[in-house]
Amino acid sequence: MAQAVQVRGRGDIAAARRVVVKVGSSSISGENAGQIEPLVDALARAFGRGVEVILVSSGAIATGMPHLRLDSRPTDLATQQAAAAVGQNVLIYRYQDSLRRYDIVAGQVLLTAGDLENPTHRSNAERAMERLLSLRILPIVNENDTVATHEIRFGDNDRLAALVSQLVRADVLVLLSDVDALYTKPPSEPGAVRIDNVAVGEQLEGVSFGDSGSGVGTGGAATKVSAARLAADAGTAVLVTATALVEQALEGAPIGTWFEPQPR
């Protein structure tokens, strides 16, 4: 495994050894399915610099919905599982089809919350991920919706991404969404102010967050803050920004909301 890098600011991202990127359902499904190609372009450029990249991708249920002739996200677990079973296959195909332009092979990794709580399963997942990275395979991680239950789900893939960043000891976690950064209130409301930097332990008092509003995902700004704190407290720097800005993010541009990591 390559030597870990302590990333202290956005400018250090381009020199990071290992990066986890998380993308949400609304960014790569439905009418936004075309965003997979520019996302892959950005990941491939980082990959070409020698960065070990892990993609945590939501979107299985949202991608499967049209194939089940569903107009809205199902609320019952069985239909969610059915949609995920169909959608995960289509989603991975779309990623691999795009990655083929760069001669990069994807490896599918499906996890449940129980996998990362069970020491044996966690060790197996870590070993598999390390081997994929050493073989220069791009792991694409998602929750294993077809076997997960309401009681043991991660709840959202922001938390999954934070736990994966801990598992692989990533230098940086990039959380992507539809918004360019976190704001003191939903950015559509008057007086919303962009949050540029969050120091270790900062409480973000007086900040309110709205939902994602897309109707196809489960995360929002509040889940991103919770996940960012989880990763940053474990020593992984976190950048929260928009999917459309992923290339700039991976090159260390001064964008998004930066969560300073706890020193390792």
Tens of pLDDT, residues 239-262: 999 999 999 999 999 999 999 999
Pairing of strands 138-143, 197-198: unpaired
Is the pLDDT reported for residue 205 higher than 90? no
Q: Where are any strands of DSSP class E within 93-245?
A: 106-111, 138-143, 172-177, 197-198, 237-242
Cα–chain center distance at 69 = 27
CATH superfamily of 10-259: Acetylglutamate kinase-like (3.40.1160.10)
32 annotated to bind ligand: no
More reliable by pLDDT, 128 or 189: 128
Model pLDDT, residue 47 = 97
**Whole-number CA gyration radius for the chain:** 17
Q: Are 134 and 2 in contact (CB under 8 A)?
A: no
Q: Is 12 annotated as a binding residue?
A: no
Q: Which pLDDT value is given to residue 216?
A: 45
Section 10-29 average pLDDT: 94
> Averaging pLDDT over each range in 1-10, 183-192, 239-248, which range is the top one?
239-248
pLDDT at 164: 96
Q: Structure tokens of 170?
A: 């990533």
Question: Any idea where the domains of the chain sit in the sequence?
Answer: 10-259
Mean pLDDT of the chain: 89
Instruction: Find residue 172's DSSP bridge partners.
Output: 19, 237
CA angle, residues 57, 204, 142, in degrees to nearest 5: 10
Residue 213 scores a pLDDT above 60? no
Which pTM was predicted? 0.92
Greater confidence (170 vs 153) lies with 170
Residue 177 known to bind ligand:
yes
Residue found under tokens 């945590």: 56
Residues 6+ apart with CB under 8 A from 213: none
Question: Rounded to the nearest 10 degrees, how much is the dihedral formed by the CA atoms of 96, 53, 241, 234?
Answer: 140
Q: SS3 for 210?
A: coil
- What is the distance between the alpha carbons of residues 155 and 251, in angstroms, rounded to a whole number? 30
Q: Where is 239: in which H helix or E strand?
A: strand 237-242
Query: Is residue 219 predicted with pLDDT exceeding 60?
Result: no
**Distance, CA of 235 to CA of 143 (rounded, Å):** 23
Check whether 4 has a pLDDT greater than 70: no
The answer to whether 165 is annotated as binding is: no
Token pair recorded at residue 122: 């966690």
pLDDT (tens digit, 9 = 90+) per residue, 24-78? 988 998 899 999 999 999 999 999 999 999 999 999 999 999 999 999 999 888 9
pLDDT at position 150 is 63
Quick: pLDDT tens for 79-126: 989 999 999 999 999 999 999 999 999 999 999 888 888 999 999 999
Residue 89 annotated as lining a ligand binding site: no
DSSP string across 124-152: HHHHHHHHHHHTT-EEEEEE-TTT--TTT
Q: How far apart are CA 31 and CA 155, in angstroms?
A: 24
* 3-class DSSP state of 120: helix
Q: Is 157 annotated as a binding residue?
A: yes
